[in-house]
Structure 1
Amino acid sequence: MATRRRPPSSSTSSAPPIADEVRSRDPKPSAAAEDPPLAPPKLGFVAAASALFFVPFFYLAFVHYPIEPDLRRSIAISVAMSFGGFLVALRMIPVAARYVLRRNLFGYDINKRGTPQGTVKVPESLGIVIGIVYLVIAILFQHFNFTSDSNWLVEYNAALACICFMILLGFVDDVLDIPWRVKLVLPSFAALPLLMAYAGHTSIIIPKPLIPYVGVPVLDLGWIYKLYMGMLAVFCTNSINIHAGLNGLEVGQTVVISAAVLIHNIMQIGASTDPEYKQAHAFSIYLVLPLLATSLALLSYNWYPSSVFVGDTYTYFAGMALAVVGILGHFSETLLLFFLPQVLNFLYSCPQLFKIIPCPRHRLPKFDPQTGLLTGTKDGTLVNLFLRLFGRCTERALCIKLLIFQAMACLLCFWLRYILAGWYK
């Protein structure tokens, strides 16, 4: 995550080992006395966002489309469990925040430097709470939906193993501050359980305008398809991690993409008559619903002004979860269209990421403490590009603009699918 500055370690580097042990064992009284409680969650904002996302979904799932009763029951159970996860995450975030502060896992908000808020210790790596709650929900859901001989159970557990592996690696990154060259390859290792357990098709449908040139309507890619799945996991995970730097941006983009994936899945279920196709998209719903619900809980604390930082734990977890959803739901092309802002940000960042031009540690805008406005720098990020194109603005206004752009990219994807249906594929 780019919006925090890690506390300097030089103050403890010269102390003997025994002093570190004493500080780590006896932090509780001073932490309770010095660190103020978290600001209350911004539930009004989250309630408005939830209504915007869930009302269309509930209408399509339970009113508009004639979905089978058993499938509706499974979706309803997933909705109920996800709401329970939202409540648990909402309660656990303040508790976990106190513990990470005691272990000096905190940062300072660089975009508020020079103001009183810029000196406040903000607990970070709170994505670990969301990841754990998500996994518990997803694991317990198996009891209500899958039998021991279900064909989907192996892939479902492999998907959860990938997500769990990525949460672990993300938390390790938050603690050890792993270099970028290592971060780029971590998701490829985390994706191995899914790649090894994947038993679905490895073929792609050739777009109709290209069939005369390819010669076949369906092309089997074999191992190349699995390689593509691994690369998709690497991209989704890192693209959310580098499209960051503002309060609420990492979680906000995940919420928007998850809502779009959720609506896309229910539309595909309602429009299809193929049972296997429906089950693939239902599988995707079961994984994305708890992601959306728990992310909304985190957003209530991470929205401007942020009370907690999500850390690389959350960005890695969210990226892997969305990649798994797209892979097992068999709509990776659509997922990449939902990720259009992240694709643009990655391409724009490539010269700095690959050291073609100098890349600072924090590619953030410049903050003016007198006016409270951000000014874009020459660093290659979508955050800075928006400031250069649309002028100086507050951090909150900039985040809203970027999330609107994210939503417009998702709407563009739905429009393209509608326009190209029947002609493209």
Structure 2
Amino acid sequence: MLTTTVSLTLTSVILLALVIIFNTVHDPLSASIGFSILGCAITWRLVPVLNDSFLKANLAGKDLNKLDKQIIPESMGVVCATVYLVCLFLFIPFPFMEWFTGKGIISHTEEFQKPTFPHHKLGEFLSALLSLQSMTFLGFADDVFDIRWRDPYNYANTATVSVWTVCRLGMVAVFCTNSINILAGINGVEIGQSLVIACSIAFNDYLFLNGTDPAVEAHLFSLYFILPFIGVSLGLMMHNWYPSRVFVGDTYCYFAGMTFTVVGILAHFNCPRHRMPRFNPTTQKLDYSRARLQKPLGVSALVILKIFSSLSLVEITELENSIEVNNFTLLNLLLLKFGSMNERTLTIKRNND
């Protein structure tokens, strides 16, 4: 039973989330934040309520890293994933609200107006939800039936024999889900690493929401999926953090990995650009290469540079209209730390480190 204080706090949080959602109908990003808060509160409340049901269904496991080897509920990731999917299903109309209210009508001629509803965006959104739902089901099936480790690989690539693009997507999905699962076994580590990744993605998306970048829509799409994920993961982590009262199971690992897959693919994220070290023909050695950033820099960029500088990860040179910094790659960092060296030495240094 919840104490009066906790019950009032939970009710207040839910009401706050509903107020944000209904007062920001035409601002999908704000509505997404509201759904994130709502998902966090509901997940936090549902997990302890369903504990006994999971134990009765034999969805339980031993906490092997404790002396008493306590039996606690497992596969609670399905609760987190279900709340997440419900929140996203309810969120579907918000990114398209301007078309529902007539603001999305564009005049193609002076006499004729035609609705230009972005069906391709809706299709991407629904395909993302279908992928997440399917992988959540697979993860829960893995928890219930203890599927062998190689079977999910076969499942993910079943219909990809003749379609190379789909095959690659399947491999990305398998990689992402198993990269979360590979560290499982310690209280809170699956959710912990997932939250670090998700918050990093959200922060990166925020940096691109300046209104001038052509990829704004893609980063908004990413935030619509990442923010509720952060919310429901926080709600579950409160019960999974050391000492865990529940286990998240393979369901959460599959769900988290597929969320990152969906965001990475459908949000059209670009890979980082390659920045080679600079060859000095006089010394016949390699020096670190530099990038020039035009002033004025945004507040976020300045904060990041100051943090990197305090950690000795970047060397900043102030110029009249710009700032020069070393390129952010491991090879350039080694050259910054240890000085110029020939290519063979740099290769050995990189492999040893």
Pairing 1:269–2:209 present: yes
| Partner in structure 1 of residue 185 of structure 2 | 245
Q: How far apart are 1:418 and its partner, in Å?
A: 8.9
Q: Which has the higher contact order (CA 8 A, sep 6+)?
A: 1
Q: How far apart are 1:228 and its partner, in Å?
A: 2.9
Q: Residues 13-412 of structure 1: matches in 2 within 5 Å? A: 73-112=27-66, 115-116=67-68, 118=69, 120-146=70-96, 147=99, 149-150=117-118, 151-188=120-157, 225-270=165-210, 272-274=212-214, 277-331=215-269, 333=271
Q: How far apart are 1:242 and its partner, in Å?
A: 1.5
Note if contact 1:187-1:320 (Cα within 8 Å) is conserved in structure 2. no
| Partner in structure 1 of residue 327 of structure 2 | 419
Q: Which amino acid aligns with 2:122?
A: L
Note if contact 1:74-1:145 (Cα within 8 Å) is conserved in structure 2. yes
The structure with the largest alpha-carbon Rg is 2
Q: How far apart are 1:330 and its partner, in Å?
A: 1.5
Q: Which amino acid aligns with 2:231?
A: A
Note if contact 2:181-2:250 (Cα within 8 Å) is conserved in structure 1. yes
Q: Which amino acid aligns with 1:301?
A: H
- CA offset digits 1:251-287 (Å, max 9, x no partner): 101100000000111112327432xx21111001000
- CA offset digits 1:281-305 (Å, max 9, x no partner): 1001000111111001111100010
Note if contact 1:188-1:233 (Cα within 8 Å) is conserved in structure 2. no
TM-score, normalization by structure 2: 0.62
- CA offset digits 1:120-147 (Å, max 9, x no partner): 2110000010111000111111122225
Aligned residues: 241
Q: How far apart are 1:103 and its partner, in Å?
A: 1.0
After superposition, the Cα gap between the structure-2 partners of 1:153 and 1:225, relative to the gap in structure 1 and judged at 3 Å, is same
* CA distance, structure 1, for counterparts of residue 40 and residue 154 of structure 2: 31
What is the DSSP-based 3-state SS (H/G/I as helix, E as strand, rest coil) of the residue aligned with 1:122? strand
Q: How far apart are 1:331 and its partner, in Å?
A: 1.7
- CA offset digits 1:308-367 (Å, max 9, x no partner): 000011100110011100111122636xxxxxxxxxxxxxxxxxxxxxxxxxxxxxxxxx
After superposition, the Cα gap between the structure-2 partners of 1:227 and 1:186, relative to the gap in structure 1 and judged at 3 Å, is closer
The answer to which structure has the higher strand fraction is 2
Note if contact 2:25-2:94 (Cα within 8 Å) is conserved in structure 1. no
* CA distance, structure 2, for counterparts of residue 177 and residue 271 of structure 1: 48
Task: Report the RMSD for the aligned CA atoms in angstroms.
Answer: 3.2
Q: How far apart are 1:188 and its partner, in Å?
A: 3.9
After superposition, the Cα gap between the structure-2 partners of 1:103 and 1:124, relative to the gap in structure 1 and judged at 3 Å, is same
Note if contact 1:184-1:238 (Cα within 8 Å) is conserved in structure 2. no
* CA distance, structure 2, for counterparts of residue 283 and residue 326 of structure 1: 10
What is the DSSP-based 3-state SS (H/G/I as helix, E as strand, rest coil) of the residue aligned with 2:93? helix
Percent of matched pairs sharing the same residue: 41
Q: Which amino acid aligns with 1:129?
A: V
Point out where structure 1 has 5 or more consecutive residues left out of the alignment. Answer: 1-36, 39-69, 196-222, 335-407
Q: How far apart are 1:230 and its partner, in Å?
A: 2.6
What is the DSSP-based 3-state SS (H/G/I as helix, E as strand, rest coil) of the residue aligned with 1:111? coil
Note if contact 1:187-1:237 (Cα within 8 Å) is conserved in structure 2. no
| Partner in structure 1 of residue 10 of structure 2 | none
| Partner in structure 2 of residue 59 of structure 1 | none
Q: Which amino acid aligns with 1:124?
A: E
* CA distance, structure 1, for counterparts of residue 238 and residue 141 of structure 2: 25
Note if contact 1:100-1:123 (Cα within 8 Å) is conserved in structure 2. yes
Q: Which amino acid aligns with 1:278?
A: V
* CA distance, structure 1, for counterparts of residue 156 and residue 165 of structure 2: 17
After superposition, the Cα gap between the structure-2 partners of 1:256 and 1:264, relative to the gap in structure 1 and judged at 3 Å, is same
The answer to which structure has the higher helix fraction is 1
- CA offset digits 1:105-126 (Å, max 9, x no partner): 11101111xx23x1x2110000
After superposition, the Cα gap between the structure-2 partners of 1:253 and 1:88, relative to the gap in structure 1 and judged at 3 Å, is same
Note if contact 1:105-1:125 (Cα within 8 Å) is conserved in structure 2. yes
* CA distance, structure 2, for counterparts of residue 263 and residue 72 of structure 1: 23
* CA distance, structure 1, for counterparts of residue 150 and residue 55 of structure 2: 28
TM-score, normalization by structure 1: 0.52
* CA distance, structure 1, for counterparts of residue 243 and residue 312 of structure 2: 30
* CA distance, structure 1, for counterparts of residue 254 and residue 230 of structure 2: 15
What is the DSSP-based 3-state SS (H/G/I as helix, E as strand, rest coil) of the residue aligned with 1:129? helix
* CA distance, structure 2, for counterparts of residue 412 and residue 121 of structure 1: 46
